[in-house]
Amino acid sequence: MSQWLDYVKFGSGKNGSPAVSGVINTYATCTGTATQLSLTTALSASAGNVILIHQSQGTGAGQWEINYVLADAGATLTLAYPLAYTYGTGAQCVLVPQYTSGTISGAITPTNWNGSVGGIVALMSSGDLTLSGSIDVSGSGFRRSGNAVADSTYIGLQGEGTVGAGGTRSSSANGNGGGGGGKGTGDNHIPGGGGAGGGNASVGTSGSNTVGAVNGTVGTVSGNADLTLTTFGGAGGSGGPSQVFIGVAGYSGGAGGGIVLIFAKSFTLTGTITLGGVTATVPDAGVGAGAGGAGGSCLIKCQTASLGANKITALPGLGATATYSNGGNGSVGRIHTDYFSGITGTSNPTLTSTQVANLKSTVYSSMI
């Protein structure tokens, strides 16, 4: 059973005009196998609604699929078709609006990822969809590390990543989250090392320093090119705290970009889709510099697409520069389009695209 099923296609149009703005999705944590999902909070997904299930963190991070709801019993959703994956801790369920043809002229944003839910914008259109407004999930993915206040370890904090929450004192990577800057080899090095950048389409970059301190380990590659595995951008690690000025914290890294999923019969982009990682804040002199977060992930499935010139961006956040250390940069994100008959346009980074025969079929209405 594939994650892109013929019965879903581009939705039923049951939610009407796409003249919307703000947060258009609702979210709930979930676990599930077979044809049932267990929710921690009710999603109010009535029969005929489309949901996205996404393993956002933990085992299987990046796995996702869409399905129809047959029945909503509050804490339990009964699904029309068996799940392709088993979902556990770190998974979330997202209610996906199903619009008709029209134009989105407003500014769409997600609820930011909070460690349990959020960070995703997902929508469907049964006809010709134009986005003249914006979708912005910059910094909505894996969360920044926080400032690393000095303690006996003098090690910075990991950025959040695919493995789990950030904030642990470690120079090791946290999946695609960057490691924190470490301590130097002597007792009197004023700053710690630089934090490492978050990863996504590639690894982040390492921090640097001039005082012999350990830098954070780079966040790893996550997801894949065709976005059948789709992840948030990894967050950058913090710089190491001062070993001399007790209480002077190493500065936080930046958050990673979120996820955008658009399923539209045809899609025209004259506005913008932005999935950037966040650049780390420049620290005070004498402490380690934080690293940048990685760009997020954008997948568009359509029959035809006109994307304009570099209107979709998933750029890295940059590391901060301090007196004795620099934070690493995050990775670029991933942008991919599956289409049936034609696609034009460019993105930054360069999008990949695949011609897919089964996107030809007309919209199903049997589940409405």
pLDDT digits (tens, 9 = 90+) for 88-109: 999 999 999 999 999 999 999 9
Q: How confident is the model at residue 186 (pLDDT cuts 50, 70, 90)?
A: low
pLDDT digits (tens, 9 = 90+) for 116-151: 999 999 999 999 999 999 999 999 999 998 888 877
pLDDT over 90 percentage in the chain: 72
Residues 163-171: what's their mean pLDDT? 93
SS3 310: strand
Reported pTM:
0.95
Quote the CA–CA distance of 207 and 326 in Å, as a whole number.
Answer: 5
Quote the CA–CA distance of 198 and 175 in Å, as a whole number.
Answer: 9
Contacts 24+ apart (CB under 8 A), 67-70: 67/5, 67/8, 68/7, 68/8, 68/367, 69/45, 70/35
Predicted confidence at residue 205, as pLDDT, reads 96
The amino acid occupying position 281 is T
Predicted confidence at residue 220, as pLDDT, reads 98
Locate the DSSP E strands across the chain: 26-33, 36-39, 50-55, 64-72, 76-79, 91-96, 98-99, 102-104, 107-108, 120-131, 134-136, 208-209, 259-269, 272-274, 297-301, 304-313, 325-326, 334-339, 342-348, 352-355
For the beta carbon of residue 363, count every other beta carbon within 10 angstroms: 16
Quote the CA–CA distance of 85 and 205 in Å, as a whole number.
Answer: 32
Summary mean pLDDT of the chain:
90
Quote the CA–CA distance of 190 and 188 in Å, as a whole number.
Answer: 6
The amino acid occupying position 347 is S
- Residue ranges per structural domain of the chain: 101-360
